[in-house]
Amino acid sequence: MESPMHRKMPARLSRRHAVAIIGAALLAVRLDVRPARAGSTVAQFVEQLGDRAILQLADPAISDGEREKRFRALLGENFDIPRIGRFVLGRYVRQATKEEMAEFTQLYEDIAVLTYAHLFASYAGEGFRVKREVGDPGDRYKMVMTEVEPSDGKPPIKLDWQVKVNGDAYAVVDIRVEGASMAITQRAEYTAVLDRNGGDMADLLAQLRNKIAKLRADRNSS
Amino acid sequence: MIRIDSIERSAILMALIAAMLLGGCATRPSDPDDRAYYLESNDPLEPMNRAIFQFNEAADKVVLRPAAIGYRTVVPKGVRVGIRNFLDHLSSPITILNALLQGEGERARDSFGRFLTNTILGLGGFIDVATDASIPKHYEDFGQTLAVWGVDSGPYLVLPLLGSSSFRDGIGYGVDSFVDPVGRYIRDEYGLEGAGVRYAVDAIDWRASNLQTIDELRQSSLDFYATVRSAYRQRRAHEIRNGREPEGESTGTPGIIDFDNMDMELPPEEAPTDGKPNAP
């Protein structure tokens, strides 16, 4: 069957029309690329963090162990891991003891290191640029919108950073990849585990320790 | 000419099942924490969904993932790019229709321009000339259109082989399959086998280009089902907003999560806006 869409479409749009569309699209793209506001230090913070991560972690000459060490250092300096750790436990955070909380935060960091550090080894020159910063003066949290431009010409990936503002100090609390928040996704994961084991924090910690041992073994064997 | 073939039949069937299930949903828990969790996961059919998810995981490990690895090994990169371009090209008509239904004139124009540019200058869609000419690529489906029209996502749903969905998006998928002029053309010319080949190549190519991401996520998650469900819902909400943050000049910074308040936050799409949740 020939649909009406199929037959009529090519006839209706002239080449001149297509050129006009291309022109309009180009203009739209140009307008969209606004530089970060002058003096917007949160945006600068994220930009420098991105640059430092690439500089320190993408170096192909360093060992996996060194890469993990550097990643952990960057994480500790620039991310509010205790705050993220409390958030991802959702409602169960109120039940956790101080000791459980401390161990959870440590294991959470270990998982992050094991999951993400090695990804920088395959860095292929993707461009990282800050597009804009959102937030008002005095806000406790600000958002910095960035884009990662894949080297193979695919469309850029949107990365939004939520940054905790504490006077002059900044710490990342969440990264959103194309609208999916890592903190919310991880909270879904951990609260699902706790829902299914009846809120047993000790069991969650045991599962995390197992997972870390397994990830470590996989990393060492590959 | 309307032909009721099996894809269309299954769409109708799916709508009927959906209507039945919607009528018989589980009641909401009364504890505020439990209720927040219930609303966020929005998954009253979790046991069934987990079973189908396990089946899909097995199918992935046994069929799709090996096929994707083989595809990546055997088919040269340039050819794979051409195939991806062509598959995206084939989805243009449905994107144009849905962009129009959503009142997204600019997106409809973009997609229209892309379709023509790539048909004429891109060897029938194998070369993405339009992207080189900076015409942005969009993807719209009927599930998104329904959302723009105000239809709630409804409970989370895992479809056999198709994966994450919701009642609304499942119905949207059925409607798209029914309406899609390209799909109709393929079914008329090449029968269901043709439609199957398009679906299979699409799935293998998608899996091949997400090989590492999915494997990593699966490997590091303690509950992959919950991870996928959450990521799916957030991605969908983002697609429905067409990447725009939920704007609101007076309400502070858009899209900010309150990390200081440990009460559950609802994902943006699901947050009740009128203050009255749907009757159970």
Its ipTM equals: 0.77
Q: Which residue from B133, B107, B242 is spatially nearest to A20, judged by alpha carbons?
A: B133
Residue B31 has pLDDT above 90, yes or no: no
The yes-or-no verdict on residue B48 having pLDDT over 70 is: yes
User: Does residue A37 have a pLDDT over 70?
Assistant: no
> From CA A42, how far away is CA B2, in angstroms rounded?
58
Beta bridge partners of A160: A145, A176
Dump pLDDT digits (tens) for B87-109: 999 999 999 999 999 999 999 99
Residue B156 burial (CB count, 10 A): 22
Cβ distance B226 to A180 less than 8 Å, yes or no, reads: no
pLDDT at B1 over 50: no
Mutate to test the interface with B, among A15, A81, A139, A191 (most CBs of B within 10 A): A191
What the block records as the tokens of B182 is 């390209």
3-state SS string for chain B: CCCCCHHHHHHHHHHHHHHHHHHCCCCCCCCHHHHHHHHHHCCCCHHHHHHHHHHHHHHHHHHHHHHHHHHHHHCCHHHHHHHHHHHHHHCHHHHHHHHHHCCCHHHHHHHHHHHHHHHHHCHHHCCCHHHHCCCCCCCCCHHHHHHHCCCCCCCEEEECCCEEEEHHHHHHHHHHHHHCHHHHHHHHHHHHHHHHHHHHHHHHHHHHHCHHHHHHHHHHCCCHHHHHHHHHHHHHHHHHCCCCCCCCHHHCCCCCCCCCCCCCCCCCCCCCCCCCCCCC
Answer whether A172's CB lies under 8 Å from A162's CB.
yes
The answer to whether residue A29 neighbours chain B at the CB level (below 8 Å) is yes
Q: Quick check: A7 pLDDT over 70?
A: no
Contact B259 A84 (CB under 8 A): yes
The SS3 assignment for A216 reads helix
- The answer to whether the Cβ–Cβ distance between A189 and B41 falls below 8 Å is no
Helix (H) or strand (E) holding A159: strand A157-166
pTM for the structure as a whole:
0.79
Q: What is the DSSP letter of A79?
A: B
pLDDT of res. A22 = 52
Average pLDDT over residues B129-158: 93
Q: State how far the Cα of A34 lies from the Cα of A43, in Å rounded to an integer.
A: 12
Main-chain phi, psi angles of B57, to 5 degrees: -60, -45
What pLDDT band is residue A118 in, cutting at 50, 70 and 90?
Answer: confident
- If one counts every other C-beta atom within 10 angstroms of the C-beta of residue B248, the result is 10
**Measured between CA atoms, how close is B262 to chain A, in angstroms?**
6
Strand partners, A141: A164
- List CB contacts (< 8 A) between A184 and chain B: 230, 234, 257, 265, 267
Domain ranges of chain A: 4-215
Tokens of A37: 């506001």
> CATH homologous superfamily for A4-215?
Tgt2/MlaC (3.10.450.710)
Position B29: which residue type?
P
Say whether pLDDT at B9 is over 60. Answer: no
Distance from CA of A110 to the nearest CA of B (A): 11
Q: Can you give the pLDDT at residue B55?
A: 97
